[in-house]
Chains A and B, each alone.
Chain A
Amino acid sequence: MAIREDVLVVGGGIAGATAALAAAESDAKVRLLSHKKSTLRQASGLVDVLGAIPRGGSTDGSGAVSDGAAPADEGSTDQSELVADPLAAIERLPEDHPYRVVGADGIRNGLEIFDDVVGDAYEGGHTDRNALVLTHGGTVKPTARYPQSVAPGLASAEKKTLLVGFAGLTDFDAPAAAAHLDAAGVPFDVDGATVTFPIQFRDDALTTRFAKALDKDQSGVRKRLADVVSEQLDDHERVGFPAMLGDDAGEEVRADLEDRLGAAVFQIPTGPPSLLGMQLEDLLFDALDAAGVRISSGNLAVGYEANDGRIESVLVDQRGNEVPYAAEEFVLATGGLVGKGIDSDRESVTEPVFGCHVPHPEDRYDWSEPAAFGAHAFARFGVVPDGDLRPTDGSGSEEFENLRAAGGVLGGADTAREKSAAGVSLATGAHAGRRAGEEATR
């Protein structure tokens, strides 16, 4: 029996999930295809909307840093200016940036869906302002939404802070991070201490092992950890740990530690494997289930069938067979270079599922800059949307009437330097999904 829906979303990250949820609001029948684990396990779990305007970041004279509000005559062209008010700053982005297509209202719509999905698990929705969150590298980063467990650690709250690291966890060195934060000018005293976790794991055990032990309170580990930390506590008002304070029972673990320590306890987002990222993925998939979205995972979309400028089905590889998934409207949310929604070889850059046009410099040595944190062209690779987020071909016409794109597969945003990846996914996912739903149920 043929598989047919109103809306088919290809891609299971933040953009795809948001698009599917937005489409489902119009009572469309929605299916989401995901290939494998999303890139969220590599992401911090923070929801950045726009944290920085990269200085000198415009590679094409398209109008970045144009309105005079940006500080000029800075020696280096590769630094960023941190942004407190993301919605107000979007007009300083290049004209081909996805935010310029969906606007501030588009971002609000995306955040609204997000806030509904996560409920109390995230904070930051009380204001349009960015919060400065501590990073595991020892500085601060502006973000729009942050997990509940991160909230007590915001850099703008002036509280004497103790950072705690563990001797076997190499990703986070608490004394170094504390000294670094001090150099970054945070408005509070901060110290760092390296302690030994009360349970002995193999030396290179990942954070997930620590989290599981705390979840289950294995061998009374919570009390023992609190005892170890309280030796360093003195008059510190809050204590920050790398994000390993439990997984399923994270809030219980944190409350327990706060109780025992008599101080606020918070988590500092980390790199992979990121518990906070994986927890966000769980929240998104729970919401998809609740919204009645069908989910097909584990197989790769490899092509499509089209007729007269409309896509009829997406072909999915299932043990060597190409199975068609038909729908009225389609959303492309396969991610960027990391998620393999954008592919490349020595000569060209491509979008592998629908073959949408991806502009790129001819010489691959122009894809990147000599400075490691330069304004790399590759960071902005992606499809070029029209005003309704439909990918366009080289001449500016839509590739397909019923295909919209969302998230990392869209070009024009340097989401790493802008700290905008999740925001772009939410805003464009909300728009593409809502429009797909409207069109399919019209």
Chain B
Amino acid sequence: MSKTPSALVLGGGSTGCGIARDLAMRGVDVTLVEKGNLTHGTTGRMHGLLHSGGRYAVSDQKSATECIEENRVLRRIASHCVEMTGGLFVQRPEDDDEYFEEKLQGCRECGIPAEALSAEEAREMEPYLAEDIERAIRVPDGAVDPFRLCVANAADAIEHGARVETHAEVTDVLVEDGEVVGVEVEHASDGGSADGLDSFVHGEPGTTEELYADYVVNATGAWAGQIGEMADVEVAVRPSKGVMTIMNVRQVDTVINRCRPKGDADIVVPHETTCILGTTDEEVEDPEDYPEEGWEVDLMIDTLSELVPMLSEARTIRSFWGVRPLYEPPEVGSEDPTDITRDFFLLDHDERDGLPGMASIVGGKLTTYRMMAEDIADHVCERLGVDAECRTAEEPLPGSEDFSVLRDWMDEFGLRSPVGLRSAERLGSRIDEVLGEWDGPNPTVCECEAVTRAEIQDAISQSGTELNAVRIRTRASMGNCQGAFCCHRMANELVPEYDEPTARDALDDLYQERWKGERHALWGEQLSQAMLKHHLHATTMNRDGDPAATGEEIDFGAFDAGESEGELSDTSGGDRSGDAVADGGRRTRTDETEGDADGDS
């Protein structure tokens, strides 16, 4: 018997995780490497729309048809990651009538259930739509949690024997005799745990490792060009940035799209406890270094207020940017990134560049990640001579297996019912494993998002000490207060498994990451919230003046040791303060410290 064929997947986004799961289920020996944590790139930075295909029903009917097919598949296999909110394409008076008809027709041609609604009917569904809208089209858009989806794919890949390495950056593509044979990765010295058994980090921190495989798949999205360069092949990804602005509550419960050909700021997606406004579309040079600008945030609020007027006065809690991995064959030559197709491309570097052993997958979108993964897994299996059917469209992801029984969460796990409900929504069929098997008190760690200790500990067991990875798994610190009340509690959960300095570093990283996005929402209520957070962490905890962090040598003897110190202390030899003074005590220093006082004044 020959050995099991092996594949190496580069990139821990939805596509990479989807490919890893698909190949692992077909019996391929898979290793996935990701330079950050899972969803580090574009997957973790999208608006969370589960497309019905309606958005592409006029401009790109192939994509639209794929979207509605995969929309149905994900509802089946990833029910715990999906909320079927429904969607509306809303026409305003200034929007083209003809386009509305084309949209309706296009949806029908692509098999997307679509129904025209009057303005009154639309407002019955979404009371905060503007008074002057003309009409709307109802489609089966939904919301999808990209983090949960990605993690569930990775977890199932591991279940089927895959190895998943996060914080392992590809530093070289290994080519031998004109063929790609593997990659060299560098294991980050500061991310995740090296020893957690269930962690996605296995390599020794700070070391490099050469990984060999029969086939390499470059699924690094916006970073695919950089991997291509390492192998001397050109992959002309055109990264395009877009802003997303998060609101504090769900002003709408339905996905609201603007019904016009294309444009910035034309969608509101209800997502968990929030709404996400999107987006812009601007080509950037470097997917990791591009300007994040206030005008983009203003544009979201001002333009989308035309559809939902209350947004102009509503509270936003942060903004973030994502980079689309757009690709088009070089001969097309679109000037405007909004004209570039959202379709995906499989680039076989053997056929294309005469470099066997590797393929890149570029373009596409989260809704069709599974279909993209299936395509490339078919390709890899063909190259590896593996004869196995794709099963990812039928087999539910972990968390979405037969989970339909309504239960009383409060009684079952001792949780207040809203906390239990939210936990169940996130964990799906894993709830028994995560909450049911938890031993010990299970307090709520993050109140905004109702995340309990058991769920945090489950995430830590998967992702080690990186609290940002815990955050994306659980949503802890992603609510209104942006971690003001829970960042430090999350860090406390790392102890005693990890030592205190590790927990403190993890807290600093999480706190700074939260701050980055909060800066885009600093006015009104959210500025007030940010000031409270600043007080809780700087005033009450003194994290900014912490001698353990600043390295400042404190002369403890120069500070007040207490009025009654003299009487109580008779055991420790090093008392510095004198007796209590007799004159009522105000403004009188003890003898020994007086000299110091003058010295530093």
Q: Which residues of A contact B (CB under 8 A)?
A: 42-44, 48, 51-52, 54, 69, 76, 78-82, 84-85, 88-89, 108, 115, 123-132, 135-142, 151-152, 154-160, 167-173, 175-176, 179-181, 183-188, 196, 202-204, 237, 264, 269-272, 336-338, 340, 343-346, 363-365, 367-368, 370-373, 376, 378-379, 415-417, 419, 421
Contacts and interface: CB of A to CB of B under 8 A. Distances in A.
A237 B573 CA distance: 13
A209 B175 CA distance: 65
Top 7 closest pairs, chain A to chain B, by CB = A88-B601, A126-B585, A137-B541, A179-B500, A80-B545, A131-B560, A173-B492
Contacts, number: 298
Given A78-B544, A129-B597, A421-B539, A204 B443 contact: yes
A176 B597 contact: no
Interface of A is mostly: loop
Given A80-B545, A421-B535, A345 B499 contact: no
Contact of A417 (B416, B440, B544): B544
B560 A269 contact: no
Interface in B533-561: 534-550, 552-561
Contacts of A157: 561-562, 565, 569, 575, 577
A170 B453 contact: yes
A176 B492 contact: yes
Interface in B328-376: none
A170 B562 contact: no
B523 to A, nearest CB: 5
A123 B501 CA distance: 33
B2 interface: no
A137 B442 contact: no
Interface in B476-531: 485-486, 488-489, 491-493, 495-496, 499-501, 503-504, 511-512, 514-516, 519, 522-524, 527-528, 530-531
Contacts of A52: 542, 544-545
Interface stretch (B19-27, B86-94, B587-595): B587-595
A170 B534 contact: no
B558 A415 contact: no
A48 B540 CA distance: 10
B586 interface: yes
8 contacts: A115-B586, A156-B556, A159-B569, A184-B547, A237-B571, A271-B536, A416-B534, A417-B544
Given A84-B558, A338-B532, A415 B539 contact: yes
A167 B544 contact: no
B519 A127 contact: no
Contact of B500 (A176, A271, A371): A176
B552 A81 contact: yes
Given A203-B414, A337-B531, A129 B559 contact: yes
A137 B441 contact: no
A240 to B, nearest CB: 14
B444 A203 contact: yes
B436 to A, nearest CB: 15
A15 B386 CA distance: 76
B443 A127 contact: no
Given A125-B586, A237-B571, A373-B543, A156 B576 contact: yes
Contact of A126 (B488, B522, B532, B580): B580
A345 B301 CA distance: 13
Contacts of A184: 546-548, 554
